[in-house]
Amino acid sequence: MNHVSYEEWVKYVNNEINDNVREVYDDHLYSCDQCLELYLQAVTELESSLPVLSNADDFTNLVMADVSQVKKKLPEKQAPFYQRTSFHYIVAAAMTLLFMTSGVFQSITKYAGAVETPSIDESPPSMTEEIMNKTFAWIDTFEIKNREANK
């Protein structure tokens, strides 16, 4: 299929498209890194319009609760977890957290640079996987710390 425009991804994130179109976009998102990038931009845009939570703990708990739900769905590769609106919020929140830790930011920047270099023979792992893995690894670390702090 043709690539999806940024405007369309914004609608997708905001749940402003019908289910049939959504399914097509879901499928496309799995296979197209280019559109994934646009989708992530749309999510970032959404994130900047999210209500600001005054209590940082509430925010953390909210994210943790949602993330553990998404994680349960992850083993099944084709599960359409993009369909959940809350997933967009998780991505947005996770991205924000990621970018606040400069080390991870640098490694993603480095990775993005590597992807853009056409001379690489080996095809790199998909950007989604990379971001998801980094995000969940980070959140796992955070969860463990949190649990230990609550002992």
Smallest distance, Zn ion to C-beta of residue 33, A: 8
Q: Which is nearer to Zn ion, 34 or 106 (CB)?
A: 34
- The answer to whether 138 touches 104, Cβ cutoff 8 Å, is yes
Is position 3 an interface residue for Zn ion (rule: CB under 5 A)? yes
- CA distances to 69, 80, 91 from 87, in Å: 10, 10, 6
Minimum Å gap between C-beta 1 and Zn ion is 8
Closer CB to Zn ion, 5 or 61, in the complex: 5
What DSSP string runs through 94-139?
HHHHHHHSHHHHHHHHHHHHHHH-TT--SPPPPHHHHHHHHHHHHH
Contact indicator for 35, 3 with CB cutoff of 8 Å: yes
* Per-residue x/- track, 17-56, Zn ion (CB under 5 A): ---------------x-xx---------------------
**Cβ nearer to Zn ion, comparing 24 with 65:** 24
Q: Which stretches of the chain bind Zn ion, using CB under 5 A?
A: 3, 32, 34-35
